[in-house]
Amino acid sequence: MAVRTILIVEDDRAIRQGIQDALQFEGFQTLDAADGETGMELALRREYDLLLLDLILPRGDGLEILEAVRAGRPTQPVIIMTARGEEDDRVKGLKLGADDYVVKPFSVKELLARVEAVLRRSPERPTDIDRVTFPEGVADLSKGEIRFEDGERVELPEREGELLRYLATNTGRVVSRDELLARVWRLNPRRVETRTIDVHVGRLRERLRDDPSDPRVIMTVRGKGYTFQAGDETE
**Tens-place pLDDT, residues 76-109:** 899 999 887 777 888 888 888 898 999 998 999 9
Q: How far apart are CA 147 and CA 137, in angstroms?
A: 6
User: Do residues 217 and 228 touch, judged by C-beta distance below 8 A?
Assistant: yes
> Is the pLDDT assigned to residue 133 strictly greater than 70?
yes
Q: How far apart are CA 148 and CA 207, in angstroms?
A: 10
Residue 137, pLDDT score: 94
Residue 195, pLDDT score: 82
Find out if CATH 3.40.50.2300 is the number for domain 5-121: yes
Average pLDDT value for the chain: 88
Question: At a CB cut-off of 8 Å and minimum separation 6, what does 201 contact?
Answer: 163, 218, 220, 226
Q: How far apart are CA 56 and CA 82, in angstroms?
A: 8
Q: How far apart are CA 195 and CA 193, in angstroms?
A: 5
Q: Is the dihedral of CA 111, 113, 116, 119 positive or negative?
A: negative
Mean pLDDT of 152-167: 93
* One-letter amino acid for residue 55 of the chain: L
Find out if CATH 1.10.10.10 is the number for domain 131-228: yes
Residue 19, beta-bridge partner list: none
Would you list the domain boundaries of the chain? 5-121, 131-228
**Predicted confidence band of residue 55 (pLDDT cuts 50, 70, 90):** very high
Q: How far apart are CA 226 and CA 111, in angstroms?
A: 37
